[in-house]
Chains A and B, each alone.
Chain A
């Protein structure tokens, strides 16, 4: 029983990482239907941004890195949408290959600029150490990531529910033609959706520097998990992504405890596939009389 309780905060912090890496993808993949293989590399770009800033800014670089990584990854995403993806909407296979190609190019670029070996970002002093939660010693960096994930979800939720830009985004996703007929510049909304989704990937990248090294392959390591969360949650549903991240995080935490890390990953994957056989629409499905 004590062991079960012990794994609780660990599961939560895994869930937080999953949520951070998947949040941006709920926009580009979930909302816009672009199988965005480059999402992982936007995470990597965020991580390298944190690495560069630690040299340039020092001390509080982590806090500076969050908004800067959002901007850098976000602008890259916007550029990708504007230059390539917008020509391929409604052609999922083409965008998959396209974004996969972009992801390979970005990885190679990272290798050329930063070298193939991993680099390390040193956590600031205030993130070293830990607190006791439910009798378990929880590292500060895990607490920080959990809080960051909660903050991002809250921000995104408010953006979608309350701000005019979020309303426009939902309108375009629900009915593109009708949105255009309502006077909405749909192309501009697409660009801002990509900016937001990719920017969130950048933020996730900064967070990941706190739990591991940074390398050109960072994105490849996380991209499958990100897609799993979005698909299991129900495409484009924020609440679904949160639920799925929590479920997968806890499942992973407990399985890791009983088996080992790599077997746990496989089992989680199998569990998601099995779940989708029973409920293909994911945890949170769309409601309403018609989708028209």
Chain B
């Protein structure tokens, strides 16, 4: 589904990713891991077209999308839930969902209903500006917004960060269902090891902007891998 090969990414002079490659096969759930600041978010943003790599390629189902604008990647079935419960703060919850629906090519209002079926707690909050929601509520809104685009590939950047345990469970359940039942392909950034073990098929560990290890999820028990993740 997604194939990233040899990407270099810089912020100004600082080189953050060094020849990173990554495969996300169709129907898989790949977990991207690594300590703070190793470049996980940078890799996801590059995949989404929010950052341009200085070198390397990004391919979606065999098509080179390295230079494609972000909104066209969304049209091609990619969705991204950024780190940190991001929303349009002065739009109401309903407007947050509606503005996304209006930008899709399918425009089917049923997509909103499907997303609300996953996170029913959002419905009573419809009229509230998103900026007034709690972090957990905003994260559910963010995932719901991504689902409205009817993605085939979902990129999640630390969806459980700073969210209370009961909402973590809801998010885990939602991701599991979407992956197992709806067949959604997922690239998940997650620091929480247990969650990665429960959800992922395989994982990739970044260290200082390079791929330090990649393998099936069972290898997460290896001592050498654990060392890459501990602070």
Chain A residues with a Cβ under 8 A of chain B: 164, 167-168, 170-171, 174-175, 177-187, 286-292
Tell me which residues across on chain A come within 8 A of B80, comparing CB atoms.
181
| Distance to closest chain B CB from A181 (angstroms) | 5
A184 to B149, CA, bound (A): 11
As a 0/1 sequence over residues 81 to 122 of chain B, the CB contacts with chain A under 8 angstroms (1 = contact) are 010111111110001001110111000000000000000000
Contact present for A171 and B91 (CB under 8 Å): yes
A-B residue pair count with CB separations less than 8 angstroms: 90
Contact present for A183 and B88 (CB under 8 Å): no
- In the complex, what residue of chain B is closest to A187 when comparing beta carbons? B69
Contact with A182, one of B84, B131, B145 (Cβ below 8 angstroms): B145
Contact present for A174 and B74 (CB under 8 Å): no
Chain B residues with a Cβ under 8 A of chain A: 48-50, 69-71, 74-75, 79-80, 82, 84-91, 95, 98-100, 102-104, 129, 131-133, 145, 149
| Distance to closest chain A CB from B80 (angstroms) | 5
User: Mind listing 21 A-B residue pairs with CB under 8 Å?
Assistant: A168-B99, A168-B102, A171-B88, A175-B86, A175-B89, A177-B70, A178-B86, A181-B70, A182-B145, A183-B75, A183-B100, A183-B103, A184-B99, A185-B71, A187-B69, A288-B90, A288-B132, A289-B89, A289-B131, A289-B133, A292-B86
Tell me which residues across on chain B come within 8 A of A175, comparing CB atoms.
86-89
Tell me which residues across on chain A come within 8 A of B69, comparing CB atoms.
180, 185, 187
Tell me which residues across on chain B come within 8 A of A286, comparing CB atoms.
90
Top 8 A-B pairs ranked by shortest CB distance?
A288-B131, A183-B103, A180-B70, A183-B74, A182-B100, A288-B89, A184-B103, A164-B102
Contact present for B104 and A178 (CB under 8 Å): no
A184 to B72, CA, bound (A): 9
Tell me which residues across on chain A come within 8 A of B99, comparing CB atoms.
164, 167-168, 171, 182, 184
A176 to B85, CA, bound (A): 15
Contact present for B89 and A174 (CB under 8 Å): yes
Instruction: Beyond the given A168-B103, A181-B80, please list 12 additional residue pairs across the A-B interface where CB-CB is below 8 A.
Output: A164-B102, A167-B95, A167-B99, A171-B88, A171-B91, A174-B90, A178-B86, A183-B75, A183-B104, A185-B103, A289-B89, A289-B131
- In the complex, what residue of chain B is closest to A164 when comparing beta carbons? B102
A184 to B48, CA, bound (A): 13
Tell me which residues across on chain A come within 8 A of B70, comparing CB atoms.
177, 180-181
- In the complex, what residue of chain A is closest to B84 when comparing beta carbons? A292
> Known contacts being A164-B102, A174-B91, is A183 close to B71, with CB within 8 Å?
yes
Contact present for A178 and B89 (CB under 8 Å): no
Contact present for A186 and B131 (CB under 8 Å): no
> Known contacts being A174-B91, A183-B149, is A288 close to B74, with CB within 8 Å?
no
Tell me which residues across on chain B come within 8 A of A178, comparing CB atoms.
82, 86-88
Contact present for B98 and A167 (CB under 8 Å): yes
Contact present for B89 and A186 (CB under 8 Å): no
A180 to B50, CA, bound (A): 8
Tell me which residues across on chain B come within 8 A of A287, comparing CB atoms.
90, 129, 131
A185 to B73, CA, bound (A): 11
Contact present for A177 and B131 (CB under 8 Å): no
A185 to B75, CA, bound (A): 11
> Known contacts being A183-B74, A291-B89, is A177 close to B132, with CB within 8 Å?
no
| Distance to closest chain B CB from A203 (angstroms) | 26
Tell which of A168, A170, A181 has the most Cβ of chain B within 10 Å.
A181
Contact with A167, one of B75, B87, B91, B149 (Cβ below 8 angstroms): B91
Tell which of B69, B103, B129 has the most Cβ of chain A within 10 Å.
B103
Tell me which residues across on chain A come within 8 A of B87, comparing CB atoms.
175, 178, 292
Tell me which residues across on chain B come within 8 A of A171, comparing CB atoms.
88, 91, 99
| Distance to closest chain A CB from B108 (angstroms) | 14
Contact present for A290 and B89 (CB under 8 Å): yes
| Distance to closest chain B CB from A179 (angstroms) | 8
A177 to B44, CA, bound (A): 13
Contact present for B71 and A180 (CB under 8 Å): yes
Tell me which residues across on chain A come within 8 A of B132, comparing CB atoms.
288-289
Contact present for A291 and B145 (CB under 8 Å): no
Tell me which residues across on chain B come within 8 A of A186, comparing CB atoms.
71
> Known contacts being A171-B91, A286-B90, A288-B89, is A181 close to B82, with CB within 8 Å?
yes
A288 to B96, CA, bound (A): 15
A286 to B131, CA, bound (A): 10
| Distance to closest chain B CB from A235 (angstroms) | 13
A211 to B10, CA, bound (A): 56
A178 to B84, CA, bound (A): 12
- In the complex, what residue of chain A is closest to B130 when comparing beta carbons? A288
| Distance to closest chain A CB from B184 (angstroms) | 17
A19 to B129, CA, bound (A): 27
| Distance to closest chain B CB from A252 (angstroms) | 31
A168 to B49, CA, bound (A): 20
